[in-house]
Chain A
Amino acid sequence: MTTDPAGPRRFLRHVLLCGAGVVMMYPLLWMISSSVKPSARVFTDESLWPATWDLGNYARGWSSLAEPFSLYLVNSAVIVTLSIAGNLLSCSLAAYAFARLRFRGRQVFFALMLGTMMLPGHVLVVPQYVLFDRLGWLNTYYPLLVPHFLATNGFYIFLMVQFMRSLPDELDDAARIDGCGPFRTFWKIIMPLCLPAFATTAIFTFIAVWNEFFAPLLYLTDPQLYTVPLALRQFMDSEGQSQWGEMFAMSFVSLAPVIGFFIAGQKYLVKGIATTGLR
């Protein structure tokens, strides 16, 4: 009969961690619970388990804004998909050059790339708006998409550079001896090995672009083009009508893809964030 002296302390730690977990999750659970309560009871029925259910919130919320919610979801999905494609393509090309090719100016460009990672984006907003206005790109998706095809996010380049540097140099040598030029080597040898880094980039891009609010707010004024965050904001303009149930229902719809991606891609997220953080 021996008792583990660390036992009580370990138990206490779990109590602490569980308590913190409940506090962290409570807002989300409350939102989900409110999304299936009748609007009038959202603030009177305090329990997480609804006393009365109203699943109609989802149907009514879907059609209560200027356009059906499916349109906003499709808009966001199109932008997210193209942004992911753009980031993967442009950042992997740049990363390959930085990680595995020798050329004049490489170190200068690499330093410049690291510098842009630290540059606060707000300084660019006004001139970029003027530029996109002159190009006739207001109320189009170009301002949201084109930057992704031009490798403007240094974090993803950096992540891929780190990953590519960890691959053995012999891969390139062997490919060269077999007569592969840099493009074939990149496409056939390096790309397939970088899938984990690509997965991380794709998930981060998904979450960042799906949640993005500022750029769509700036460039999209036509409700037909609205993304999900812009659409959700409309609920606040019609607040007087107290359609809380519907608002929380659509809020949950807007978060569900992020939560889904998080569950599916957790491994890559955690690994990716640890690499970019650690250098």
Chain B
Amino acid sequence: MTALRARRQDNAGYLFLLPWFGGILFTVGPFLASLYLAFTDYDLLTPPRWAGLANFRAMLDDGRLHQSLQVTFTYTLVSVPLSLAVALGVAMLLDRGVRGLAIYRSIYYLPSLLGGSVAIVMLWRYIFGYQGIVNDFLAWFGIQGPGWNSDPRFALSTLILLHVWTFGAPMVIFLAGLRQIPAMYYEAAAMDGASPWRQFRSITLPLLSPIIFFNLVQSLIASFQTFTQGYVISNGTGGPAESTLFYNLYLYQKGFAEFDMGYASSMAWLLLIIIAGFTAINFLAARYWVFYDN
């Protein structure tokens, strides 16, 4: 009787998971296929030919690949910590019963929903263009700014600022986390004469560290895969002078403009390994700075 019920529950569980099983096939199948394709020469028209390590060897001499790695690393390593720091800072300003919290939160949060859209990246081109409002603003101080997007030295910085502009999503998560810290911790610390900085270091940071960690891992993974911003700001070229040639933009050019799909697959795996490496380092380092209450 109970065995029958257990079997019936088994079957029901699998039935409910049926679409998800289909989705797993859609994920695991391509995952393995891309590993295979990474070691082949494949142009979509003729069957893949085994090429051994040729793709990976070619990467060593591929200057555009190195440039795209540099662009992606610079972007990620600057914009992720910067936007998380801003998010945390603003969340702390908003935390202690500010009047108008809901309005501030909405204003800061809205950009994070729009930041990935083509319209906003196009807008960024003009805001930071030679005649854009950023230069209008600088003109007040007698500074003539360059065309920020058309100058290879600055083009990537404008996209980093776009990333920072979307700090609202992690901010909302930080706000929810801050609210869970009991106020009496701060009261007790204040009574013992702890300065605000000391309170931040000894109460806020440790208790918020699991959430900071979660945000850090997620933002790094997402940021390494940036595509739309680079594509739209440069109209697909990665210019000027390859300064916005994000890794995935180059992968797209290789795979879907040149149809060198073997090479694109090996690029995909290189990035996967990089992301996995960063995530692993994150998890290892977490032992030393992430504090779990229970």
Q: Which residues from chain A sit less than 8 Å from chain B, CB to CB?
A: 13-14, 16-17, 20-21, 24-28, 30-31, 42-43, 46, 89-90, 93-94, 96-97, 101-104, 106, 109, 112-113, 116, 118-131, 133, 146-147, 149-152, 157, 181-183, 186, 207, 210-211, 213-214, 217-218, 229-230, 232-233, 235-237, 244, 247-248, 251-252, 254-255, 258-259, 262, 266, 269-270, 273-274, 277-279
**Interface flag for B177 (CB, 8 Å):** yes
Tell whether A258 pairs with B114 under 8 Å between CB atoms, given A17-B94, A101-B16. yes
Cβ–Cβ < 8 Å partners of A24 in chain B: 107-108, 110-111, 165
Closest chain-A Cβ to B292's Cβ sits at a distance in Å of 11
Cβ–Cβ < 8 Å partners of B214 in chain A: 277-279
Q: Assess whether B228 is in contact with A251, with CB atoms less than 8 Å apart.
A: no
How many angstroms between the C-alpha atoms of A90 and B19 in the bound complex? 6
**Interface flag for B82 (CB, 8 Å):** no
Q: Assess whether A124 is in contact with B34, with CB atoms less than 8 Å apart.
A: yes
Q: Assess whether A235 is in contact with B122, with CB atoms less than 8 Å apart.
A: yes
Q: Which residues from chain B sit less than 8 Å from chain A, CB to CB?
A: 6, 9-14, 16-20, 22-24, 26-27, 29-31, 33-34, 37, 44, 90, 93-94, 98-100, 104-111, 113-114, 116-120, 122-124, 126-127, 129, 131-133, 136, 165, 169-170, 172-173, 175-177, 211, 214-215, 217, 221, 224-225, 227-228, 231-232, 235, 248, 251, 255-256, 261, 264-265, 268-269, 271-272, 275, 279
Tell whether A128 pairs with B9 under 8 Å between CB atoms, given A21-B108, A232-B119. no
By secondary structure, the B interface counts as: helix
Cβ–Cβ < 8 Å partners of A21 in chain B: 104, 107-108
Chain A residue with the shortest CB-CB distance to B170 = A277
How many angstroms between the C-alpha atoms of A258 and B118 in the bound complex? 13
- Add 13 more A-B contacts to A97-B20, A101-B16, A262-B113 (CB < 8 A): A21-B104, A27-B123, A27-B127, A93-B16, A109-B17, A119-B27, A127-B30, A127-B33, A151-B20, A251-B123, A277-B215, A278-B214, A279-B214
Q: Assess whether B23 is in contact with A126, with CB atoms less than 8 Å apart.
A: no
Q: Assess whether B27 is in contact with A43, with CB atoms less than 8 Å apart.
A: no
Chain B residue with the shortest CB-CB distance to A18 = B104
Chain A residue with the shortest CB-CB distance to B130 = A43
Tell whether A26 pairs with B133 under 8 Å between CB atoms, given A126-B261, A151-B20, A236-B232. yes
How many angstroms between the C-alpha atoms of A130 and B268 in the bound complex? 15
Q: Assess whether A244 is in contact with B108, with CB atoms less than 8 Å apart.
A: no
Closest chain-A Cβ to B177's Cβ sits at a distance in Å of 7
How many angstroms between the C-alpha atoms of A106 and B13 in the bound complex? 8
Cβ–Cβ < 8 Å partners of A217 in chain B: 231
List 14 A-B residue pairs with CB atoms under 8 Å apart, sorted by A's residue number.
A93-B16, A97-B20, A112-B24, A120-B221, A120-B272, A123-B272, A126-B268, A130-B33, A151-B20, A207-B113, A211-B117, A247-B122, A251-B122, A259-B110
How many angstroms between the C-alpha atoms of A236 and B228 in the bound complex? 14
Cβ–Cβ < 8 Å partners of A146 in chain B: 26
Cβ–Cβ < 8 Å partners of B251 in chain A: 122, 125
Partner of A13, one of B93, B131, B227, B255: B93
Q: Assess whether A13 is in contact with B117, with CB atoms less than 8 Å apart.
A: no
Cβ–Cβ < 8 Å partners of A121 in chain B: 225
How many angstroms between the C-alpha atoms of A67 and B127 in the bound complex? 28
Q: Assess whether A113 is in contact with B20, with CB atoms less than 8 Å apart.
A: yes
Cβ–Cβ < 8 Å partners of B248 in chain A: 122
Closest chain-A Cβ to B122's Cβ sits at a distance in Å of 6
Chain A residue with the shortest CB-CB distance to B18 = A93
Cβ–Cβ < 8 Å partners of B110 in chain A: 24, 28, 259, 262
How many angstroms between the C-alpha atoms of A96 and B14 in the bound complex? 11
Q: Assess whether A126 is in contact with B133, with CB atoms less than 8 Å apart.
A: no
Closest chain-A Cβ to B115's Cβ sits at a distance in Å of 9
Partner of A94, one of B20, B26, B116, B279: B20
How many angstroms between the C-alpha atoms of A17 and B16 in the bound complex? 48
Cβ–Cβ < 8 Å partners of B264 in chain A: 125-126
Tell whether A255 pairs with B255 under 8 Å between CB atoms, given A16-B93, A123-B268. no
Cβ–Cβ < 8 Å partners of B14 in chain A: 103
- Residue among B14, B129, B269, B279 with max Cβ neighbours from chain A (10 Å): B14
Q: Assess whether A152 is in contact with B10, with CB atoms less than 8 Å apart.
A: no
Closest chain-B Cβ to A138's Cβ sits at a distance in Å of 11
Q: Assess whether A129 is in contact with B16, with CB atoms less than 8 Å apart.
A: no
Cβ–Cβ < 8 Å partners of B215 in chain A: 277
Tell whether A125 pairs with B131 under 8 Å between CB atoms, given A21-B104, A112-B24. no
Partner of B255, one of A43, A109, A125, A236: A125
Cβ–Cβ < 8 Å partners of B33 in chain A: 127, 130
Chain A residue with the shortest CB-CB distance to B272 = A123
Q: Assess whether B16 is in contact with A94, with CB atoms less than 8 Å apart.
A: yes
Q: Assess whether B126 is in contact with A218, with CB atoms less than 8 Å apart.
A: no
Q: Assess whether A277 is in contact with B211, with CB atoms less than 8 Å apart.
A: yes
Cβ–Cβ < 8 Å partners of B279 in chain A: 118
Q: Assess whether B127 is in contact with A103, with CB atoms less than 8 Å apart.
A: no
Tell whether A126 pairs with B37 under 8 Å between CB atoms, given A31-B123, A121-B225, A214-B227. yes
Cβ–Cβ < 8 Å partners of B20 in chain A: 90, 93-94, 97, 109, 113, 150-151, 157
Cβ–Cβ < 8 Å partners of A277 in chain B: 170, 172-173, 176-177, 211, 214-215
